[in-house]
Amino acid sequence: MFCIIAIVALLLYIFFDVNYFIRVGFTILTGRLFEKKSSVRDTTTIYGLCTTQDIDIMLRHMNNARFVRDLDFARFHFYDRTGIYERIKAVNGHALQGASSIRYRRTIPMFSAYKIETKLVYWEDKTLFIEQKFITLNDGFVRAIVLSRQNLLETDVSALLDNADDKPECPEEIKHWLESIEISSARLRKKD
């Protein structure tokens, strides 16, 4: 019996990123057990530690792929704590990462604790714009800042947000970022 369990576990680890799914479950579960619900205008926070599984080839600091991976956990946590996920699910909708822009300011050294703050900064009819910050706990320094564009499928912002018409002013960096995305899209359309 032990042999069968070991083989199944080994196969799961070979064919699936089991640690990813465990971390998603852990992040959502701890949020539900230990944190109150948040408003969509609130900032949510998760915590992490740069371990030996997160470091780059220089064996000193977090690699770029781990930054992006941790953004998923923080975004899922934000969706769950704010109720956005429930509302998307209720209308059989989906939210897909449409674009992201990350600016690395400093590395996160190995064995450093950090937090990721996530907040909704702007929205359009079919799009949510989320800002996320990696902040090291020992010095409070913003190590990386990320903007992501979440495209909504089979739903729209008015179904997800109670005061969808009361949206904030579009931040300047998002205006420029959207222009950049449009220029890139137009160039790619010409090639197609």
Domains observed in the chain: 35-191 (3.10.129.10)
pLDDT in tens, 35-85: 999 999 999 999 999 999 999 999 999 999 999 999 999 999 999 999 999
For residues 9-14, average pLDDT: 90
Question: In whole angstroms, what is the distance from residue 102 CA to residue 116 CA?
Answer: 13
Band the pLDDT of 124: cuts 50, 70, 90: very high
Residue 182's pLDDT is 93
Query: Is residue 191 over pLDDT 80?
Result: no
Comparing C-alpha atoms, which of 150, 95, 146, 92 is closest to residue 124? Answer: 150
pTM listed for this prediction: 0.91
Query: Is residue 166 over pLDDT 90?
Result: no
Share of the chain above pLDDT 70, in %: 99
Residue 2's pLDDT is 87
Residue 172 is which amino acid? E
Residue 148 is which amino acid? S
